[in-house]
Chains A and B, each alone.
Chain A
Amino acid sequence: MPGQELLVKEIMDRGLCSSCGMCVGLCPYIKTAGDRVRAIYPCGIEEGACYGVCPKTSLDISEMDMFVHGREREDHALGIYSGIYYARATARADGAQYGGITTALIGLALREGLISSAILTGGDIMNPRPVLAATPGEVNSCAGSKYTGVPTLLELNRAAGRGLTGIGLVGRPCQVAAVRKLQRGKLPPERTYSDRLVGLMLGLFCFWSLSSELYGFLARETKGEEIIKMDIPLEGPGVLTKTGSRRWRVDEIRPFINKSCNYCFDSTSEWADLSVGSTEQDPGWNTLLVRSGQGRDLVELAADRGVLEIKDYPAGRLPVLRKAALNKKMRVLALAEKEPGNGGCPAIPDKYLREMNVQWGGINR
C-alpha cells in the first residue's frame, strides 16, 4: 500500500481531492483549511494509511458492493437498494432542505440511542464547517444543504481518538466510500478503529460539489447580503436572501465545480445505509433510497413514530433518475478513456461495464 507521496502525486497535486477529510488527522502531516486538504510536510513513510482510505485511490466497485451489501449489483445506475420512496419530515427543522428527512432521521437515531452523535456539515452556505453533533438541537442547527466540499470526516478521526463509537454520518458519496474503505481495514493494525465506530451512514445525492470560489461569486452577486438558503434545482442555482431571491444559469457556477467530481462514479451514495436526495419535482419532498437492513429499520421506526411521511416513488420518475445517474457514469468513463491511468476514477470490472452499457443503451432507447 503506497503512502503520502503517491497520494500527493496522484490525487492532491492533480486537484482530484474531494475534501472528504478522511485522511485529515490520521497523521500530523495532512491538514485542512476551509475546503482544502493538503499534505503540509512530506512524512517520508512509504506505506501510509492516508492512501488506503482515500476514496479517490484504487477502489473496485464490485469488491465494495460485496463488502458493504454482500452481493453484486444488478442496477448499474443506482447500485444496490431495497426500496425507493418519496419522503418528508412531519416536523421540518428550520432551514432543512426539501422534505427535511436527513435532519429528521439523524435526530431520531440520536434520540433513540441508535447513534451516539453525528458528523454533519454545520455553518452556513458561505462558511460551512465540520460538526460533531451530540444533541438533537445541534443536529437541527446543521439542517440545510451546503454546496462546497467540507472535510467533515476529520471529525471521525478525532472522535476515534476520543474512543467514541456508534457515530452517525451524513456525507457525500465520496465520504461514504472513504468510511467504507476505512472499515475494510485500510489502517495499520495498531491504529485500527473500533468495529462499532460508525453506527449509521446516511449518504446524500451529489452530482458535484463546488470549490470555495463560490463564496466570492455569491458575495459579489448578492452584494454581501446574508444568504438564508441555497439550492440547485433544474432551473438553475439560486439563493434566498433577506431581501429576495436570485437565480443563475448552471453555466455561471460550472467553473467552480471541483475537478475531482468529474471523475466521480457515484452520485447517489451507493454504499450508504440510506441515500437521500431531492425529487427534482416537488420541493416539499425528498427521494429516499433504502440500501441496508439497518437503513430499513430506521426508516420503519421513523414511519412508526410519525417522524416521516413516506409514499411510493412515482414510477415515471425512476427512468429519469436512473438516466441522470448513468449519464454521469458514462461521462466519467469517457473522461477516463481520454486520460488513461488517471487517478480518482474507480476500477470497474468488465462484467459491470458490459451490463452498464446495456442498461444505459436501454435508457436511451
Chain B
Amino acid sequence: MSIAGVCLEKPGTKVALTGNEAIARGALEAGVAYAASYPGSPTAEVLGTLSRLAGNFKLYAEWSVNEKVAMEGAAAASFAGLRSLVVMKADGLNVALDFAGALAISGCRGGMVIVLGDDPNAHSSVREEDSRNLCKAIHLPVLEPSSVQEALEMTREAFSLSEDLKLPVVVRCVTRVCHASGDVELGELNRPLPVPDFTRDNRVITFGIQLHALQEQKLARAAEWACHSGFNSYTGPENPERLVIACGPCYMHALEALDMLAATGVGVLKLGVTWPLPHQLLLKYLRNASEVVFAEEVEPFVEDNVTSLAAMQIPRGIKFYGKRSGHVAGPAGPGIGELDPDILASSLAGIFGVKYETPGVSGRAEALELLGEKMPDRELAFCAGCPHRASFWAVRAALELDGRGGIVLGDIGCYTLGMARTGYNLLQTVHCMGAGIGLAGGMANLSRFGFDRPIVTLVGDSTFYHAAIPALINARYHNSSFLCVVLDNETTAMTGHQPHPGRSVTAMGEPARTVRMEELLQGVGLPYVVQDPYDVEATIDVVCNMLGQEGPRVLILRRTCVLAAVRGKQKARVYVDQEKCIGDSCGCGRFCSRVFACPANVWDAAGGKARIDEAVCNGCGVCASLCPQGAIVVERAVL
C-alpha cells in the first residue's frame, strides 16, 4: 500500500500495509542488513519494497540469479554476524533445498529468516506446494502468520528466535496474507547493526551426525519456546470437548465460520508456530477433547503431526476431522485448493451435525446472473502487444512449415501461458525453472534409438540466467541436438519487471555489470542468432533455418516486454481502415481477433469488421504486418 508506511519512524502508529510490506517492515524493525530474493508470487514485493528502501537504511538488497544463490548470500551475512533475510516462493525452496538442508545442519550466527510464499490454489504458480513438509524434513522451525499484523511481528521475532537457536527460521506466508492489506501497528526502527566479521576462527561446517543431534536439540528448544509464544493462542472453554486447530488465514476463516454457525462451546487453538509443534500446549487442549477439527492449507501437515502426537500421548480415542477423514474439503476435494469461511462452515456443520446453508441472496449464482454480460470474458492471455505472441506464432508457423512433427518443451515465466490458446497451445511440457532445456537434451539424446523429431525448447531470459546454463552446458558437451529459443523480453516480466543479470541496473538501482546472454553462449560454445520477434516473417524464416540445423543451438528472440517499453511513452496509434477491412468476405476468418487473438484486436459485430480496442492496444503493430488485406494502420511507430 505504502512504501512511506514501511519506513515510518513512529512506533505505535497504525498504517495500512500489505502482507508483503508488513514482512519488509518486520525485517527492518529487526535490523535486517542483508536481503536477497529471486522474484516469485506471492512474495515478490517483499524484496521489491526493501530494495526501494535500501538507501534509507543500512541495508543491502539484491535480486539474486536464483533462490539458492540468494539463500547462500543471506547465509554468508548471517555467518558474519548480520541479520539477513531471504525471500522466495515455495518453488524457490526446491531450488535452494540442497543448501537449505545443509544450512539447517551447520546453523547460522546472525538471525536469519527465510520467508516462503506458499500459493494455495496456485493462483500464480504451476502448483500449490506446501513448503512445510520440506521445512520439517530439513529441521527448520516454521511460523505461519494469519494476518498482516502477524506477518510483521512474526518476521521481526523470527530474527530473535533464529539468533537464539543459531538456526534459520522460516516464515511461511500464503497468498491471502501476502496480498491482503490491513492496519498494522508499527514497532521501533533503527536497531543498531553489528560490524560484520568472519575471522579465521569462525567455522560453519556441515559434517557428521553429531550435528544432527544438535539439530534435534535446537528443535526441542524451539518447541519449548513455541509453548510460551504469543503466536499460539487459544479462545474458548477451558477444557473444550470440541476443538478447532487452525493456522494461517484459516484461523480467521474458522472464527468466521463458527460465528456463521452460531456454534458455542467450541475451542479454537491457533497455531502460529506449526513446526516444531508446541506439544505441551496441544496436549493441554487435547486432553479432554472428543472431537478435533483441523483448518489449514494445503496439506494435512498440522493434522498428521497432531494425530501422531495424540496417538502416542493420549490413551483414549479422539475423533479427528480434517483432510484425512475427508470432512474438511473445498470443491476440489480434501487437501486441494484454498479454504474459506464458507467451506469451513459447511465442513464444521457436517461434523457437528448442524444445519448450514450457503448464503442465498449474495450467492454466487445470483451474483453471476446479476453481472450477466457486463462481465467481460477473460481467459489467461499474453498482454496486448506482448512479443511472446509474435514469437509463439512464428515458432508454430515454422514447425508446421518444417513438417517433421517437431515438439515444443516449455518453461516457467509469462510464456508458460503458451500452453493455452494465447500461445496457440504450443507448449507440451511445463515443469520448473529451466526444466525445458534439460528435457530437450534428454529427448535429443534419444536419437540413437531412432527418435528423430525436431526439438524446440522455449525459455525466458530470467529463467535462462536462473537455471538454463547447466543444461545448456550438458547439451553442448553431449552434442544434444535441439533448438533453444530464448524469449528475451529483457526483464522478469511475470513477477513485475524485476531486473536480472542481463540488465544494467541492480535491485537497489545501482549500475550493474551486465552479463550478456551472447557472451555466456559464446563461453559455452553454442551458436546463436538474435532476432526481433515483431518481424514475424523474418522470424519464421530464421526458425525454419535453425530447425534444419544440427547440434545444440540458440535463437534469442529479443524484444522488450511491451508493458516496460511503453511506460511513460506515447503509444503508436493503431487502427483498422474500415474501407480496407472486408470482414468475413476476406477469407482470413477474423484472423486478428479470433486466431492471433491479441486482446486489442476485437470484432465489431455490428459493423461486421475488425477493430482495434485503442484503450488496450500497446501499439506494437504486429497485427498490421499479418493482416492479409493490409487493413491495419500503424500511425506512429515508436516501439
B586 close to A (CB within 8 Å): yes
Known: A41-B595, A190-B582. A28 touches B401 (CB 8 A): no
B505 lies within 8 A of chain A by Cβ: no
Specify which of A27, A33, A44 is in contact with B540 (CB 8 Å cutoff). A33
| Interface hit among B55-63, B359-367, B392-400, B427-435 | B392-400
From B400, B586, B587, A40 is in contact (CB under 8 Å) with B400
User: Does B403 lie at the interface of the complex (its beta carbon under 8 Å from any beta carbon of A)?
Assistant: yes
- Asked whether A189 is an interface residue with its Cβ less than 8 Å from the other chain, the reply is yes
- Whether a CB of chain B sits under 8 angstroms from the CB of A188 is yes
**Chain A residues, CB < 8 A from B582:** 190-191
What string of 1s and 0s marks CB contacts (under 8 Å) between B562-599 and chain A? 00000000000000000000100111110100011000
- Within B594-639, the residues touching A (CB, 8 Å) are 595-596, 626-630
Are A48 and B587 touching (Cβ within 8 A)? Answer: yes
| The residue from A28, A45, A48, A191 contacting B626, defined by CB atoms under 8 A apart | A28
B211 to chain A, nearest CB (A): 59
- Whether B528 sits at the interface, judged by CB under 8 Å, is no
CB closest residue in chain A, given B630: A161
Given the complex, which residues of A lie within 8 Å of B627, measured CB to CB?
28
Does A199 make an interface contact (CB < 8 A)? no
> Does the CB pair B540–A45 fall under 8 Å?
no
The answer to whether B588 touches A36 (Cβ under 8 A) is no
Determine if A320 is an interface residue (Cβ-Cβ < 8 Å).
no
CB atoms of B424 and A41 under 8 A apart: yes
- Kindly state the separation between the CA atoms of A266 and B205 in the bound complex, as whole angstroms: 83
A191 pairs with B585, CB closer than 8 A: yes
Per the 8 Å Cβ criterion, residues 248-262 of B in contact with A are none
Cα of A88 to Cα of B544 in the assembled complex, Å: 40
One digit per residue, 1 when the CB lies within 8 angstroms of any chain A CB and 0 when it does not, for chain B 415-450 equals 000000000100000000000000000000000000
Alpha-carbon distance between A48 and B595 when the two chains are bound, in angstroms: 16
B400-A38 in contact (CB<8A)? yes
Interface size class of A (residues with CB under 8 A): 20 to 34
A28 with B400: CB separation less than 8 A: no
- Check if A302 is an interface residue, CB within 8 A of chain B: no
Given contacts A33-B540, A34-B544, A41-B400, contact A28 B588 (CB under 8 A): yes
Which B residues lie within 8 Å of A188 (CB)? 585, 587
Contact of A33 with B401 at beta-carbon distance under 8 Å, contacts A28-B596, A41-B396 already known: yes
Whether A191 and B587, one on each chain, are in contact in the complex, defined by CB atoms closer than 8 angstroms, is: yes
Collect the chain B residues with CB atoms within 8 Å of residue A31's CB. Answer: 397, 400-401, 540
Q: What are the residues of chain A within 8 A of B595 when measuring CB–CB?
A: 28-29, 41, 43
Point out the residues of chain B lying under 8 angstroms from A29, CB to CB. 588-589, 591, 595
Is B224 an interface residue when CB atoms closer than 8 A count as contact?
A: no
Assess the A43–B401 pair: CB atoms within 8 A.
Answer: no
Q: Mark A18-31, 1 if CB is under 8 A from B, else 0.
A: 00000001111101
Give Cα distance in the complex from A190 to B596, angstroms.
Answer: 23
Complex Cα–Cα for A41 and B421 (A): 12
The CA-CA distance from A40 to B424 in the complex, in Å, is 11
Please provide the chain A residues from 44 to 71 with a CB less than 8 Å away from any CB of chain B in the complex. Answer: 44-45, 48-49
Q: Which residues of A contact B541 (CB under 8 A)?
A: 33
Contacts of A27 in B (CB 8 A): 586-589, 591, 628
Which among B398, B402, B628 is the interface contact of A28 at CB below 8 angstroms?
Answer: B628
The answer, yes or no, to whether A39 is at the interface (CB within 8 Å) is: yes
**What residues of chain B lie closer than 8 Å to A49, measured between beta carbons?**
587
Contacts of B400 in A (CB 8 A): 31, 38-41
Q: What are the residues of chain B within 8 A of A25 when measuring CB–CB?
A: 628
Residue of A nearest to B594 (CB): A44
Considering the complex, which residues of chain B in the window 398-417 have a beta carbon less than 8 Å from any beta carbon of chain A?
398, 400-403
Task: Indicate if the CB atoms of A44 and B589 lie closer than 8 Å.
Answer: yes
Interchain CB contact under 8 A, B402 and A33: yes
Residues on B with C-beta less than 8 A from A36 are 401-403
A359 in the interface, Cβ–Cβ < 8 Å?
Answer: no
- In the complex, chain A residues whose CB is within 8 Å of the CB of B586: 27, 190-191
| Residue A32 interfacial (CB < 8 Å) | yes
Kindly state the separation between the CA atoms of A45 and B626 in the bound complex, as whole angstroms. Answer: 18
**Cβ distance A187 to chain B, nearest Cβ, rounded Å:** 8
Residue from B401, B403, B424, B591 whose CB has the most chain A CB atoms within 10 Å = B401
- Residues of A near B591 (CB, < 8 A) are 27-29, 43
User: Complex formed: what's the CA distance from A29 to B589 in Å?
Assistant: 10
Cα of A44 to Cα of B540 in the assembled complex, Å: 22
A30 to chain B: closest CB distance in Å?
10
Query: Nearest residue in B to A28 (C-beta to C-beta)?
Result: B591
Does B397 lie within 8 Å of A40, measured CB to CB?
yes
Nearest Cβ in chain B — how far from A24, in angstroms?
11
Docked complex Cα distance between A27 and B595 (Å): 12
CB distance from A262 to the nearest CB of B (A): 19
* Nearest CB in chain B: distance from A333 CB, A: 29
Query: Contact between B587 and A32 (Cβ–Cβ < 8 Å)?
Result: no
Q: Which residue of B lies closest to A190 (CB)?
A: B585
Considering the chains assembled together, what is the distance between the CA atoms of A342 and B402 in angstroms? Answer: 24
B456 smallest CB distance to A (angstroms): 15
For the complex, what is the distance from the CA of A25 to the CA of B587, rounded to whole Å?
11
Within the complex, the shortest CB–CB distance from A28 to chain B, in Å, comes to 5
Q: Report the minimal beta-carbon distance from B533 to chain A, rounded to whole angstroms.
A: 15
Bound state CA distance, A49 and B402, in angstroms? 24
Residues on B with C-beta less than 8 A from A45 are 587, 589
Give min CB distance, B37 to chain A, whole Å. Answer: 40
CB distance from A79 to the nearest CB of B (A): 31
Q: What residue in chain A is nearest B595 (Cβ atoms)?
A: A41
Please, which residues of chain B bring their CB within 8 A of the CB of A39?
A: 400
Q: How far is the CA of A49 from the CA of B585 in the complex (A)?
A: 11
CB distance from B408 to the nearest CB of A (A): 14
Q: Please, which residue of chain B has its CB at the minimum distance from the CB of A189? A: B585
Task: Please report the C-alpha to C-alpha distance between residue A191 and residue B626 in the assembled complex, in whole angstroms.
Answer: 17
With A28-B596, A28-B626, A33-B544 as contacts: A38 and B403 at CB distance below 8 Å: yes
Report A62 CB to chain B, min CB distance, Å.
29
Residue on A with the closest CB to B401?
A: A33
What separation, in Å, do the CA atoms of A209 and B540 have in the docked complex?
25
Nearest chain A residue, comparing its CB with the CB of B629 = A161
- Expressed in whole angstroms, the minimum distance between the Cβ of A126 and any Cβ of chain B is 13
Min CB–CB distance A240 → chain B (angstroms): 26
Q: Which A-chain residue is minimally distant from B545 (CB atoms)? A: A33
B396, B397, B585, B596, most chain A CB atoms within 10 A: B397
Q: Which residues of B contact A48 (CB under 8 A)?
A: 587
Contacts of A38 in B (CB 8 A): 400-401, 403
| B628 pairs with A26, CB closer than 8 A | yes
Q: Among residues 288 to 318 in chain B, which have CB atoms less than 8 Å away from a CB atom of chain A? A: none
A36–B540 CA distance with the chains assembled, in angstroms: 13
Q: A28-B595, A28-B626 are in contact. Are A33 and B585 (CB under 8 A)?
A: no
Cα(A34)–Cα(B629), bound, Å: 24
Complex: how many Å from CA A27 to CA B588?
A: 5
A29 to B627, alpha carbons, bound, how many Å? 11
Q: Which residues of B contact A190 (CB under 8 A)?
A: 582, 585-586
A213 to chain B, nearest CB (A): 11
Q: How far is the CA of A97 from the CA of B397 in the complex (A)?
A: 35
Nearest-CB residue, chain B, relative to A50:
B587
Residue of B nearest to A162 (CB): B630
With a cutoff of 8 Å between Cβ atoms, the chain B residues found around residue A41 in the complex are 396-397, 400, 424, 595
**A166-196 contact mask (Cβ, 8 Å, vs B): 1 or 0:** 0000000000000000000000111100000
Chain A positions 345 through 358: 1 when the CB is less than 8 Å from some CB of chain B, otherwise 0: 00000000000000
Shortest Cβ distance from residue A266 to the other chain B in the assembled complex, whole angstroms = 26
Q: Which A-chain residue is minimally distant from B544 (CB atoms)?
A: A33
Taking a contact as CB atoms under 8 Å apart, the answer to whether A40 and B588 are in contact is no
Docked CA distance A41–B596 (Å) = 10
Q: List 18 A-B contacts (CB under 8 A).
A: A25-B628, A27-B586, A28-B588, A28-B591, A28-B628, A29-B588, A29-B591, A31-B400, A32-B401, A36-B402, A36-B403, A39-B400, A40-B401, A41-B400, A43-B589, A188-B587, A190-B582, A191-B582
The 3 closest A-B pairs by CB, nearest first: A33-B544, A190-B585, A40-B400
Further 7 A-B residue pairs, CB within 8 A, beyond A40-B397, A190-B585, A190-B586? A26-B587, A27-B591, A28-B588, A28-B595, A38-B403, A43-B588, A161-B629
